[in-house]
């Protein structure tokens, strides 16, 4: 959550609180948080620096192609269209920063969108995109994102 925008953090905490987003640990942790506490948590984490990592060069080329240009054949929208060319996100729209995100976390979230386990995306946009992606494409995009700098 470090470095993520406040609006996105607030939405995710509220989604865990309402069980719109499911995770047994998180659902229990946030169940009794007040709106003020949620806002304070979001403000704190938004001010932290997001750690960045190094991308795996073996898959980064495919990941970059999908992130920047999508895949017209499979009707996969470019990730950068919403999350920005550098992965900084779009705070006013509530789109999260992706740059530097751990690859394993990104893979897990895309797989959860693909299976419908995670369904808190506006207009099912992420579910629609993830359903069209292969495991190899998900891994490649995750590795590329890991190496981005906002």
Mean pLDDT, to the nearest integer, of 78-83?
A: 98
| Cα separation, 150 vs 145, whole angstroms | 10
Q: Say if 30 falls within a structural domain.
A: yes
Q: How confident is the model at residue 77 (pLDDT cuts 50, 70, 90)?
A: very high
Q: Are residues 75 and 42 in the same domain?
A: no
Within 10 Å of residue 16's Cβ, how many Cβ atoms? Answer: 21
> pTM, whole model, 2 decimals?
0.76
Q: Are residues 30 and 74 in the same domain?
A: no
The single-letter DSSP state of residue 84 is -
Q: Say if 21 falls within a structural domain.
A: yes
HSE-CB of 43 using CA atoms within 13 angstroms: 6
pLDDT recorded at residue 58: 79
List, for residues 91-120, the tens digit of each pLDDT value.
Answer: 999 999 999 999 999 999 999 999 999 999
pLDDT recorded at residue 55: 67
Q: Are residues 84 and 131 in the same domain?
A: yes
Q: Are residues 77 and 42 in the same domain?
A: no
Q: Are 135 and 35 in contact (CB under 8 A)?
A: no
Mean pLDDT, to the nearest integer, of 120-140?
A: 97
| Cα separation, 77 vs 122, whole angstroms | 15
List, for residues 21-59, the tens digit of each pLDDT value.
Answer: 999 999 999 999 999 999 999 999 999 987 666 667 878
Q: Are residues 63 and 131 in the same domain?
A: yes
Q: Say if 51 falls within a structural domain.
A: no
Q: Are 107 and 142 in contact (CB under 8 A)?
A: yes
Q: How many domains does the chain have?
A: 2
Q: Say if 143 falls within a structural domain.
A: yes
Q: For residue 1, is pLDDT > 90?
A: no
Q: Are residues 142 and 76 in the same domain?
A: yes
pLDDT recorded at residue 115: 97
Q: Write down the mean pLDDT value for the chain.
A: 93
Alpha helices in the chain (DSSP H): 6-17, 24-30, 35-46, 57-69, 80-83, 103-115, 125-131, 135-147
pLDDT recorded at residue 149: 84
User: Can you give the CATH number for the domain in which 131 is found?
Assistant: 1.10.760.10
The residue segments making up the domain with residue 14 are: 6-46
Q: Are residues 27 and 85 in the same domain?
A: no
């Amino acid at each position: 959550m470090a470095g993520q925008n406040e609006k996105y953090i607030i939405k995710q905490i509220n989604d865990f609180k309402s069980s719109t987003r499911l995770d047994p640990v998180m659902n229990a942790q946030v169940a009794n948080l007040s709106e003020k506490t949620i806002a304070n948590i979001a403000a704190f984490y938004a001010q932290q620096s997001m750690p960045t990592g190094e991308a795996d060069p073996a898959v980064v080329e495919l990941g970059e192609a999908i992130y920047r240009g999508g895949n017209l054949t499979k009707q996969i929208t470019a990730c950068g269209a919403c999350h920005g060319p550098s992965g900084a996100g779009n705070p006013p729209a509530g789109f999260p920063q992706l740059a530097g995100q751990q690859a394993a976390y990104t893979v897990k979230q895309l797989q959860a969108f693909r299976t419908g386990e995670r369904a808190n995306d506006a207009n099912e946009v992420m579910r629609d995109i993830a359903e069209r992606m292969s495991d190899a494409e998900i891994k490649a995009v995750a590795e590329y994102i890991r190496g981005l700098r906002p």
